[in-house]
Amino acid sequence: MKKIIWSLVLFCTLFTSGTAQELNLIGRLNGSIGFNYESIDYNGGSLAYSPGGGMGLEVGAEYRFFNGLSGYGTLGYQYNLALQLQSGTNGSNKSSVTFGRAFFTLGINKFFKFSENTLHGIVIGVGGNYSIPGKLRITENDFSADPIEYETNLGFHIDAKLRLKLSDVIFLEPGIRYRQLELEAKSFGPNTIDALPSHLRTLNTSGVEISVSIIKTI
């Protein structure tokens, strides 16, 4: 599925690259809910975290071609933080998980126009994402494990957005996106990868994003 989507996106982008009619700038903010949840210990209890969750920001550009079809590319960063911190007469106790990754997206959109009013239409998109992960860091009851580094990898996404017309050149797009992406562990400090539990050897960062984008026509 991932290879099919990447091939389709690249073909459409190359095929229509010489016919661009309009350039838009994109700014996108998302809150992500991961499909996979794990937990670490915190003072005898559990602290849940999801590698596919967190907040993200993207900036990029969209080229409109013809018949509502457009190609887009963005650069983004996604960050996940789970934290519990307790202070008392016996000192502090901290458990936390942090993970961030930069990524590129490339995709195609199809715009279905409703009207020239505020509810302008709906946008259906499909694309690929190339992820450059940072280090996953886990602290459990004040003990910090060695950071885990992950390989870069390709994933894909499918999304749907409402296009709200604020002016002739500014549009707002609230939407939802399904994202599929798994990352393989590359290093674990001086330890071997086999020392990691299976859910950390292959990190499932798939999830659903609730987003809002601002589109500016130039």
Binned at pLDDT 50, 70 and 90, residue 33 comes out as very high
Backbone angles phi, psi at 6, to 5 degrees: -60, -40
C-alpha Rg value of the chain to the nearest Å: 20
Name residues whose C-beta falls within 8 Å of residue 178's C-beta, 6 or more positions apart in sequence: 157, 158, 159, 208
Residue 119 has pLDDT above 80, yes or no: yes
Whether pLDDT at 149 is above 60: yes
Give the tens place of pLDDT for each residue, 46-95: 889 999 999 999 999 999 888 889 999 999 999 999 998 876 666 678 89
The fold of 2-217 is Porin (2.40.160)
What pTM, to 2 d.p., does this model score?
0.85
What are the domain boundaries of the chain? 2-217
